[in-house]
């Protein structure tokens, strides 16, 4: 299965908001949903898109799913963007 396009994943403002929140540390869906005007199921769908693009990862802690930024996914974005500043 091919990985989803990271640039398409971050095109959505709600997803960028989620990434900003996760940049400060791992969080659950409930914690992330507090800062958005969308439902928890919608937050889960946005997180799935970010996971599919390799930008976040998830781990189970009991009954909770904890999300965090996946640095390797951002490294690919950085490498692509850096080519525009190198000459």
Q: What is the CATH number of the domain that holds 12?
A: 1.10.10.10
Query: How many domains does the structure of the chain reveal?
Result: 1
- Residue 28 in any domain: the answer is yes
Q: How many CB atoms lie within 10 A of CB 6?
A: 18
Q: Residue 77 pLDDT > 50, yes or no?
A: yes
Mean pLDDT of the chain: 91
Task: Annotate 36-56 with b (16+ C-beta within 10 A) or e (fewer).
Answer: beeeeeebeebbebbbbbbbb
- Residue 57 in any domain: the answer is yes
Residue 20 sits in which domain range?
6-82
Q: Residue 1 pLDDT > 50, yes or no?
A: no
pTM: 0.88
- Residue 87 in any domain: the answer is no
- Residue 1 in any domain: the answer is no
């Amino acid at each position: 299965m091919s990985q989803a396009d990271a640039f398409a994943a971050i095109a959505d403002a709600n997803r960028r908001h989620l990434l900003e929140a996760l940049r400060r540390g791992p969080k659950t869906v409930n914690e992330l949903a507090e800062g958005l005007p969308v439902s928890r199921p919608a937050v889960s769908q946005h997180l799935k898109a970010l996971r599919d693009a390799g930008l976040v990862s998830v781990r189970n802690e009991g009954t909770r799913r904890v999300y965090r930024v996946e640095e390797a996914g951002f490294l690919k974005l950085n490498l692509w963007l850096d080519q525009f500043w190198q000459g």
